[in-house]
Structure 1
Amino acid sequence: MKAQWFNQVQQIGKVRWQQAIGETKYPFAQYAFHAALEDSGSVGGETGWYPEYILLMEDDDTPVAIVPTYLKTHSQGEFVFDWSWADAYQRYGYPYFPKRIWAVPFSPVTGPRIFTALDPQGNSMELLGLYATVGDLLTQRTQQQTMSSWHLLFTKSHVKQAFVDDPILSRVSCQFHWFNRDYRDMEHYLEHFSSRKRKSARKERQKVVQQGIRLQRKLGVELTEDDLSFFYLCYQSTYAKRGQYGYLTREFFQQLVQTMGEQVVLVLAYHDDQAVAASWCFFDDQSLYGRYWGCLQEFDCLHFEACYYQGIEFCLEKGLQHFDPGTQGEHKIARGFEPVYSHSLHYIDNEGFREAIEAFCKEEAQSVVLYHQETTNLLPFKTA
């Protein structure tokens, strides 16, 4: 097997890319997703995200796998926060940036980070050697370029076993995901809540209706230009409330509608027939991935309905088994989203900093485990 580096998806080409990833429907593995990031200017240019894709091939040049990596000059849009690490480097006069991340940009979604037809779901233990090989490749390149580190973000939990003999640090955090336990429909799902929690959930949904809100789900292929313009206004409004500007351009979403519209669902909320909020999700044959939300008017419980209940209903209609609504948010627990661990792996080249960061990760992990236990006890489901 051999590896080749590319800094543009077009250099690999759609045919080779799709041949490498095979039949996987995972939206963040698709050529179309990464092409939209580049073509729209959401990465590259002055963004601080500089693609370095690795194409793994057999000796006869048959594509085997795609590995998405990026040079980064900051830590924005990653959702595994290492600002304190960068500050420590700066205080001691060492450069932390640029660094390399092995990740999907702007997407705190656990999944495979080697996209390959050999393992479409990213669950194979037999392919851990491939992760170890890529890790060695990144370590060598990091050392050759005298960079500080590389970081594998939101990887599957078993992948850390590929690095047990390497100086790779493991970090854990907590998210909240929904799982389909063979629920027939929304009412059947809510029947599994305790009486008090079920009443609360129904009351939340009724509040939305009583305020005159109507919700509609539309696939990406059904979206109009007006729908897209409204969604993008909502997307930017979420950042504007924090005095920021959204990372992704309108052209990114426009291109995705054209190239991946069958894997996009948009929840639109209307008040008196005027659009007031929107929630954007991706989906494949197994999971729904909630990504972007925004509202132009505030309504009681609308966020819960548009981002969670509507997504659960969509999963039940489509037979999807899992809903990842995004990072953080204890408010998800009362709607039936269960705490799950998310994992990242980190190579720190400087031994002194590595030891300090390792101690930090171990202490942090203890707090995360305790938090996971505490939030599990808050779930709304009936107890045996």
Structure 2
Amino acid sequence: MPDGDTALSARVFENISNIPPDTWETLAGPDNPFVGYPFLLALEETGCASNETGWLPQHVVVEEANGNIIAVAPCYLKSHSQGEYVFDHGWAHAWERAGGRYYPKMQVAAPFSPVGGPRLLAGSGPNSDDARLTLLRALETICQKLELSSVHVTFATERDYDIMSLAGWIQRVGRQFHWHNRDYETFEDFLAALTSRKRKMIRKERRQVDEQGITVHALSGDDIKSHHWDAFYQFYVDTYDRKWGYPYLTREFFEAAQDRMGERIVLVMADMDGLPVAGALNLRGTSALYGRNWGCLGDFRFLHFEACYYKAIEFAIDNGLSTVEAGTQGPHKIQRGYEPVQTYSGHFIPNEGFRDAVERFCREEEREVEWEMENYAEHLPYRQED
């Protein structure tokens, strides 16, 4: 075991079902559904996270001599860089041009989900950070024993990020756009916090959705029926076929997720003339709503903003949630009330020369992200308080 600690050992599990669910959930905590046992199990049971899709589960567990598990990491052996959203294609090409083999690599992540959250799962006890550091050392050891190019912990919390810094891992930042609930009681309260111009813009966009004869509503739990999933999956596949070419999630996954964590799902559906035309999938944490997948069968003016942004904000206000995280990309989200936030990743690369090159890249990228964050902050749509 790393650091000469003979009281601890690490094991790798190819199926999350072989790890006690209660233990995993205790270490992961209740806040983020994307590292929760039900979500990860549904991905494995329905073949979404598998060797065939290039996401072979290799969950790392650290346990005491008596078998007590003190830390786990949702880990995957990856044969590509798809579905991660922290892009390292350039690193892969550079290493392979130099004669190295970049794949397979280890990825500690919530598959197919650009959602920040805990990755080094060790609970919140007084020794939890020590357990996280031990988990990192275990990942390093496994990487080197298997002669892999690298380990990547993506969309981590700031706490995990600090532990990775302590361990000497390369640090990388990115940015997303999140909406923050400033104790609004209604959507109109939120609009009142905006400048007059942006307030009028949002009202106009929502009105134009209504004028197209479209109704938009949010469903959760038992209110989501099989026919809703049939329609949403059609939207999802159609969007991927047009934009990205390969849908990561199967129809079976959505039903399995519904069965295992239906209370965490918020499915926004848009109907026209009694028929569904678009949908947006969200998962609900204890304090945040996480927007994930969107699909639409036609070109409806402003419907994407209504279903993905405004309905999410409305749901968060109505349910006392503090944050809406709307996924990747999107400077256009700023004028709709979403603010820039940093994302955090850490990377372990055994080869010194390759590590130094990636480190230089990340430091240059960090300066660019900082400049972007400052620039975006100057264009927020909120009224300035006197």
Give the TM-score taking structure 1 as reference length: 0.94
Check the 8 A contact 1:5/1:52 in 2, yes or no.
Answer: yes
Q: Does residue 341 of structure 2 align to residue 340 of structure 1?
A: yes
1:144 & 1:3 partners in 2: Cα distance?
A: 13
1:213 & 1:53 partners in 2: Cα distance?
A: 44
Give the match for residue 34 of structure 1. Answer: 40
Q: Residue 216 of structure 1: SS of its match in structure 2?
A: strand
> How do 1:166-181 residues align onto structure 2 when only pairs under 5 Å count?
166-181=167-182
Structure 2 gap ranges (5+): 1-7
Give the match for residue 44 of structure 1. Answer: 50
2:76 & 2:204 partners in 1: Cα distance?
A: 45
2:281 & 2:60 partners in 1: Cα distance?
A: 29
Q: Does residue 171 of structure 2 align to residue 183 of structure 1?
A: no
Aligned residues: 378
Give the match for residue 5 of structure 2. Answer: none
Give the match for residue 98 of structure 1. Answer: 104
Check the 8 A contact 1:220/1:266 in 2, yes or no.
Answer: no
1:192 & 1:20 partners in 2: Cα distance?
A: 38
Q: Residue 292 of structure 2: SS of its match in structure 1?
A: strand
Identity %: 41
Give the match for residue 157 of structure 1. Answer: 158
Give the match for residue 279 of structure 2. Answer: 278
- Runs (4 or more) in structure 1 with deviation over 4 Å come to none
> CA deviation digits over 1:294-350, x for unaligned, max 9?
000111100000000000010011100111111111111111000000011111111
Check the 8 A contact 1:276/1:295 in 2, yes or no.
Answer: yes
Give the match for residue 59 of structure 2. Answer: 53
Check the 8 A contact 2:287/2:323 in 1, yes or no.
Answer: yes
- Quote the RMSD (CA, aligned, Å): 1.6
Give the match for residue 71 of structure 1. Answer: 77
User: For 1:9, which of 9, 16, 24 is the aligned residue?
Assistant: 16
Partner amino acid, structure 1, of 2:24: W
Partner amino acid, structure 2, of 1:88: A
Deviation at 1:243, TM superposition (A): 5.3
Deviation at 1:353, TM superposition (A): 1.1
Check the 8 A contact 1:4/1:54 in 2, yes or no.
Answer: yes
2:341 & 2:91 partners in 1: Cα distance?
A: 25
Check the 8 A contact 2:164/2:171 in 1, yes or no.
Answer: no
2:122 & 2:355 partners in 1: Cα distance?
A: 31
Check the 8 A contact 1:53/1:68 in 2, yes or no.
Answer: yes
Check the 8 A contact 1:278/1:294 in 2, yes or no.
Answer: yes
Q: Does residue 83 of structure 2 align to residue 83 of structure 1?
A: no
Give the match for residue 138 of structure 1. Answer: 139
Deviation at 1:163, TM superposition (A): 3.6
Give the TM-score taking structure 2 as reference length: 0.94
Distance 1:341 1:19, change over 3 A: closer
Distance 1:170 1:91, change over 3 A: same
> CA deviation digits over 1:225-282, x for unaligned, max 9?
1110100111111111125020111111110011100100100001121111000000
Of stretches 54-63 and 278-287 in structure 1, the one that deviates more from structure 2 is 54-63
> How do 1:1-384 residues align onto structure 2 when only pairs under 5 Å count?
1-21=8-28, 24-118=30-124, 127-242=128-243, 244-384=245-385
